[in-house]
Amino acid sequence: MGIPMMGRSVIMPQRIIDVRGILVSLLGVSPLESDDELGMVRGSSVRLECLRSKFFNVTDSTLDKRIEYTAKAYLLYLVSCTFFSDKSGMISLATRVV
């Protein structure tokens, strides 16, 4: 994107970020589904396919809370694909600086 980066990186310790909590509270994913997904990717990322399969059938008649979760998932998708794209097909829920 051509954005100049200067200065030191901001690092957030991994233990502070509760990825399972993000999936459950912000996206409405069940604890069992979130454990399965996080176990599959072995990290703090979510596969785009997981989000697509979870939120693909939302319509105008869907419950308001589910529409809210879908909107949040879509915004997460847009931000991840636009600013943090890496062709892996996964969205990182915790930024890690190596």
* 61-78: pLDDT as tens digits: 888 888 889 888 888 888
For residue 98, the Cα-to-chain-centroid distance in whole angstroms is 19
Question: What's the pLDDT tens digit per position in 1-60?
Answer: 566 777 776 665 555 567 888 888 888 889 998 888 888 887 777 888 888 888 888 888
**Token pair for 48:** 């785009």
**pTM of the predicted model as reported, rounded to 2 decimal places:** 0.64
